């Protein structure tokens, strides 16, 4: 074989000309074949039908300032509704004179999340930052010192409530999920059976039933005379729910650890706890960081369900704002506003998880 190729030298040829410029790009990406051309034209037609009315509704014909709902009726969107209601939608029933407190809370949460995304921060520094951040959040929301009035949890509402439910649910659900995952992989049959039973039970039923349970059944579970705050009950439901889903994510990491690592740890004479803490978990958790971020996105979106137990999260405050008799019927405006907030958080985090995934896989790809 080698002889043939060597005896027939072929002069090097220039690569075929690549179509350059805008026209070349258009031809390759939009009009390469007849079928592609038809598809492109169909898409352009679709955009031509859908976009102009949307732009007219949202921008050109929109009303930006109006004294009340009646003055705001036209062909376009009524963004004046958002201007009137944004404080209520974002912070709900929190006393209006103290609006700066929930606003700072949101800033703290965003800082915490952004800091957690910086890989140089991972480690003890981040843990300290988060602890301080969470304490500050609760101090600011609750108040009752340094001249800040005390605010009952029933008044905690809007975006801060959504963030608290999601972040605390994830943080406390995480250790619970790790324990469940370890239990599910345990060699002890009774432990394994109970953990599998719990995980499958929670994952098999809708979150709504967990919330119903928290709001309707939990009071019955407690000794007579003992009551728990409604927010805490919902939070417990989220922790229990998140735990089961996080357990499955962590299990994926545990299963990916080569058996040799565990055998090596045993050979070194490490106990089960040492082995798990020093060898297994650090590797397993590092592997599952991208799916962990995705689970967090899921839990963040799921907090919108607390509307059924009438906690005033971001979605519920928007619904409440829609009930104002002076400003009726601005559904699309309210949902676009709230949707944009949810979307920014989720989009940012999902992009981040994709980035991590690419970085983690860099070593594995050729």
Partner 1 sequence: MASEETSLGTVPARPAPWRDAKIRGIAYQVAFVAAVVGFIGFLVYNTAANIGRLNIPIGFGFLQREAAFGIGESLIDYSPADTYARAFLVGLTNTLHVAALGVVLATILGTLMGLARLSRNWLVSKLAQVYVETFRNIPLALQLFFWWGLLNKLAPGPRQAWQILPGVFVSNRGIAYPMPLANPAYRWVAAAFCVGFIATFGFRRWAKRRQAATGQQMPTGWIALGLIAGLPAVVFLAFGAPFVLEVPALKGFNFSGGDAMSPEFAALLIGLVVYTGTFISEIVRAGILAVSWGQSEAAMALGLRSAQRMRLVVLPQALRVIIPPMTSQYLSLTKNSSLAVIIGFPDLVSIANTTINRTGQAIEGITLIMAVYLVISLAISLAMNLYNRAVALVER
Q: Which residues bind partner 1 (CB under 8 A)?
A: 29-30, 32, 36, 39-40, 43-44, 46, 187-191, 194, 201, 203-209, 212-213, 216-217, 219-224, 297, 301-305, 307-308, 315, 319, 329, 331-332, 335, 338-339, 342-343, 346-347, 350
* The two structure tokens encoding residue 160: 């801060």
Q: Minimum distance between the CB of residue 106 and partner 1, rounded to whole angstroms?
A: 18
1 vs 224 by CB, closer to partner 1 = 224
Least Å distance between CB 268 and partner 1?
Answer: 17
Least Å from the CB of residue 196 to partner 1: 13
Residue closer to partner 1, measured from CB, 46 or 55? 46
Angle between helices 314-322 and 79-91 (to 10 degrees): 130
Q: Closest separation between CB of residue 299 and partner 1, Å?
A: 11
Nearer to partner 1, 140 or 297 (CB): 297
Q: Which residues of 321-336 are buried (b: 16+ CB within 10 A; e: fewer)?
A: bbeeeebeebeebbee
Whichever of 151 and 247 has its CB closer to partner 1, that residue is 247
Give min distance, CB of 214 to partner 1, in A: 10
Question: Which stretches of 256-330 are DSSP H helices?
Answer: 259-267, 272-274, 281-287, 289-302, 314-322
Token reading at 31: 């009009």
As measured in angstroms, the least distance from the Cβ of 86 to partner 1 is: 16
Helix extents (H) in 185-288: 189-204, 207-212, 218-221, 230-255, 259-267, 272-274, 281-287
Output 111 or 310, the one with its CB closest to partner 1: 310
Question: What does the block give as tokens for 177?
Answer: 């999920």
Residue closer to partner 1 (CB basis): 187 or 362: 187
CB atoms within 10 A of CB 103: 17
Burial 135-164 (b: 16+ CB within 10 A, else e): eebeebbebeeeeeeebebeebbbbbbbbb
Look at the block and give the residue holding tokens 């930006």: 64
Q: How far is the CB of 125 from partner 1 (least distance, A)?
A: 30
Taking the least distance from each CB to partner 1, the nearer of 67 and 339 is 339
Rounded CA gap, 181 and 168, in Å?
A: 20
Alpha carbon distance 84, 62 (integer Å): 15
């Amino acid at each position: 074989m080698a002889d043939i190729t060597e005896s027939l030298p072929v002069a090097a040829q220039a690569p075929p000309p690549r179509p350059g410029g805008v026209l070349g790009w258009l031809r390759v990406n939009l009009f390469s074949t007849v079928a592609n051309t038809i598809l492109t034209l169909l898409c352009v037609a679709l955009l031509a039908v859908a976009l102009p009315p949307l732009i007219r509704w949202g921008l050109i014909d929109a009303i930006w300032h109006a004294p009340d709902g009646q003055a705001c009726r036209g062909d376009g969107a009524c963004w004046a509704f958002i201007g009137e209601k944004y404080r209520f939608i974002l912070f709900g029933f929190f006393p209006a004179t103290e609006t700066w407190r929930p606003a700072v809370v949101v800033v703290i949460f965003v800082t915490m999340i952004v800091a957690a995304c910086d890989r140089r921060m991972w480690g003890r520094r981040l843990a300290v930052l988060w602890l301080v951040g969470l304490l500050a959040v609760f101090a600011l929301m609750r108040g009752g010192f340094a001249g800040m009035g005390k605010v009952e949890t029933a008044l905690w509402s809007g975006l801060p409530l959504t963030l608290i439910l999601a972040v605390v649910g994830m943080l406390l659900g995480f250790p619970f999920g790790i324990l469940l995952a370890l239990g599910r992989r345990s060699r002890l049959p009774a432990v394994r059976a109970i953990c599998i039973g719990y995980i499958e039970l929670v994952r098999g039923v809708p979150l709504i039933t967990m919330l119903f349970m928290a709001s309707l059944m939990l009071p019955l579970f407690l000794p007579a005379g003992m009551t728990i705050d409604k927010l805490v009950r919902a939070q417990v439901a989220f922790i229990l729910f998140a735990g089961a889903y996080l357990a499955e994510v962590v299990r994926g990491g545990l299963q990916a650890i080569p058996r040799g690592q565990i055998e090596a740890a045993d050979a070194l004479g490490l106990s089960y706890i040492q082995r798990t803490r020093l060898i297994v978990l650090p590797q397993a958790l590092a592997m599952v960081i991208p799916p962990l971020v995705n689970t967090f996105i899921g839990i963040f979106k799921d907090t919108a369900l607390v509307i059924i137990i009438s906690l005033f999260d971001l979605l519920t405050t928007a619904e409440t704002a829609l009930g104002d008799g002076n400003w009726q019927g601005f559904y699309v405006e309210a949902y676009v506003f709230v949707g944009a907030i949810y979307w920014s958080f989720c989009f940012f985090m999902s992009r981040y998880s994709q980035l991590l995934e690419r970085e983690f896989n860099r070593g594995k790809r050729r």
